[in-house]
Amino acid sequence: MSNMLEVADLGHTYGDYEAIGGLTFTVRAGELVCVVGPSGCGKSTLLRTISGLIAPSRGDVSLNGSHLAVVFQDYSRSLFPWLSVQGNVEFPLRSLPRAERRARAAEALEWVGLGAAAKKRPWQLSGGMQQRVAIARALAYRPALLLMDEPFASVDAQTRFELEDLLLRVRREHDTTVLVVTHDIDESVYLGDRILVLSGSPAKLVADLEVPLPAERDQVTTRTDEAFVALRSKVARLLNVGGKPTMDVDKWAAAERESLSETVSS
Amino acid sequence: MNKFLQRWTVFAGLVVVWQLLGMFAEDPFFPPPSDIVTAAWEWWVLEPRNVTEHILPSIGRLLSGWAIASVIGVALGLLLGRSDRAMEYAGPLLVFLRSIPPPALVPVFLLLFKTGTPMQLATIIFGVIWPVLLNSVDGARSVDVTKVDTSAVFQIPRYQWVLGVVLPAASPKIFAGLRVSLSLSLVLMVISELVGTDNGIGSQLIQAQREFDYTRMWAGIVLLGVLGYGLNTVLLAVERRALAWQPRSRDEQHA
């Protein structure tokens, strides 16, 4: 499998403050990789350097393709209120002929289940639907890599589960390569084929873990799967390295597994 | 209908009071509204020469001055607003120029252009450009960071960045500036017509006053009021259409 993204010894400093300290990793074509790390560990800087919004202080980012798309956490600010939903999805396609632009936008909106909302304004939709518009816009652009910055951190838990499953479905159907940056351990395990665990500032790669779960995932059964729980504990333990022991991760995981299986059986 | 009554009662009441006072006092400086309206009708509406020689040229200068100032103001404002360095250089100059009362420049423009339309346009343009320019700067600066990042990631062409992102994002502020400028245009149109010309509503106003024809003078003032009200109403309607995309507060809470 070819590499879609290669990051070599990427480092970035703001003045004296070192945000990222030499990261090396690759993302293979069609893969969904989650980058997980504590809040303020330099994840956003990593995302901004990969997407080209800032030039890194050192190291290389090479993308196997001409362009990438980003889905930001703050969907309400990322979408343009003066454009319709359709207009927002067409936004990155201005160089294409009108008819093709139309067709691509309509298609992408169908993929995220918003075909009927094309004429509405984004702010007339719920938060989850707005983030779906942002995802459709990114997909319509047909990026070599889809970058997502805490994409589901601003929606409620129920919507979050829906959006996670939507992401898994569309990336499977369209063979999209995805890099999700998140601070949520559960989310990284649930979504990822692979997890990159980062330490606190400056961000360094602590572990590169394969997720031993089947491609088909389910919010209830996957989350109670032995492999899921074991990996989640492992990531949590890795993230606690060097930090204060805040809780007994294994005990917490076991307790949660029990409570989850209770809700399933009832 | 209720709303209409509510809005116009005070206005109509004052007119009635003035009418009664005017009829009893018979003061030549303050003729009753009925006389003024009659004079306005005869002078401004029934006299085609006055329409073509005074009203239309005045409105033409007002609108073209305002339009030129708006185009320059918006273009320059968006440019300055998106460049911190340009604003650092130009900022003090803008504040200084804006502080000069435009009528004070009428003598300068008279020297530069002699009397006539170019001098009048220059007065209007210099006077009304500031609200548009400064509001455009402010609006262009207010494009939020996520939209800037989104545009950068999608590598949109420059024209789309300016016309499709910065301009619409700044448009609520731009319209606020346009409204202030439009009413200022009316003021400066009259001022620019008070000297060295016998053409335009302002010149007729000063001429009527010199001829002690106070009813005709008042008729000119009423015409200016009607004109200002009409122009503002039209601009408000345009603004409401152009900014229809703005989320209304109640809908926003739903999101």
Q: Strand A32-36 relative to strand A68-71: parallel, antiparallel, unpaired?
A: unpaired
Tokens of B113: 């252009």
- B252, A128 Cβ separation under 8 angstroms: no
Is residue A195 in a domain? yes
Set of chain B residues whose Cβ sits within 8 Å of the Cβ of A74: 146
Angle (nearest 5°) at CA A213 between A208 and A219? 115
- A146, A69 Cβ separation under 8 angstroms: yes
Cα A186 from Cα A195, distance rounded (Å): 11
Is residue A168 in a domain? yes
pLDDT digits (tens, 9 = 90+) for A186-232: 889 999 899 999 887 788 888 888 888 888 888 888 888 888 888 88
Set of chain A residues whose Cβ sits within 8 Å of the Cβ of B168: 80, 82
Whether the CB of A142 is below 8 Å from some CB of chain B: the reply is no
Is residue B248 in a domain? no
Nearest to A130 by CA among A144, A107, A109, A147: A109
Is residue A181 in a domain? yes
Confidence bin at B240 (pLDDT 50/70/90) = very high
Q: Which residues fall within 8 angstroms of residue B65, CB to CB, at 6 or more apart?
A: B120, B121, B123, B124, B125, B128, B185, B188, B189
Is residue B22 in a domain? no
Q: Count CA within 13 A, CB hemisphere, residue B230.
A: 8
H helix count then E strand count, chain A: 10, 9
Tokens of B22: 């005017």
CA distance A30 to chain B (A): 21
Is residue B19 in a domain? no
Is residue A202 in a domain? yes
Is residue A213 in a domain? yes
pLDDT at residue number B255: 38
* Beta bridge mates, A210: A194
User: Dihedral angle at the C-alpha atoms of B30, B33, B37, B38, nearest 10 degrees?
Assistant: -80
Is residue B168 in a domain? yes
CA distance B127 to chain A (A): 31
- Specify the range with the lowest mean pLDDT, choosing from B43-47, B160-164, B229-233, B235-239: B43-47
Domain that holds residue A189: 3-67+143-217
pLDDT at residue number B232: 93
> What CATH code is carried by the domain that includes residue A15?
3.40.50.300
Is residue B237 in a domain? yes
> What CATH code is carried by the domain that includes residue B134?
1.10.3720.10
Q: Are A94 and B168 within 8 A, CB to CB?
A: no
Cα B41 from Cα A52, distance rounded (Å): 67
- B173, B110 Cβ separation under 8 angstroms: no
Interface test with A, best of B150, B162, B165, B239 (most A CBs within 10 A): B150
Cα A53 from Cα A12, distance rounded (Å): 13
Is residue B105 in a domain? yes
For residues B136-152, give the mean pLDDT: 92
Domain tally for chain A?
1
Burial B98-119 (b: 16+ CB within 10 A, else e): eeeebeeebeebbeeeeeebeb
Angle (nearest 5°) at CA A69 between A218 and B160? 140
Name the interface residues of B facing A (CB cutoff 8 Å).
Answer: 144-147, 149-150, 152-157, 160, 164-165, 168-169, 171, 245-247, 251-252, 254-255
pLDDT digits (tens, 9 = 90+) for A116-138: 888 999 999 988 899 999 999 99
Q: Is pLDDT above 70 for B113?
A: yes
- Chain A residue with the nearest C-alpha to that of B242: A82
User: Considering chain A, what is the average pLDDT of its residues?
Assistant: 84
Domain that holds residue B117: 34-242
Exposed / middle / buried, residue A151 (Cβ in 10 Å: 0-12, 13-18, 19+): buried
Q: Cα B244 to the chain's mean position, in Å?
A: 22
Burial A199-221 (b: 16+ CB within 10 A, else e): bbbbbbbbeebebebeeebeeee
Domain tally for chain B?
1
pLDDT digits (tens, 9 = 90+) for A12-61: 888 888 888 888 999 998 899 999 988 777 888 898 999 989 888 888 88
Is residue B12 in a domain? no
Is residue B254 in a domain? no
Q: Are A77 and B144 within 8 A, CB to CB?
A: yes
Q: Are A77 and B147 within 8 A, CB to CB?
A: yes
For residues B1-21, give the mean pLDDT: 85
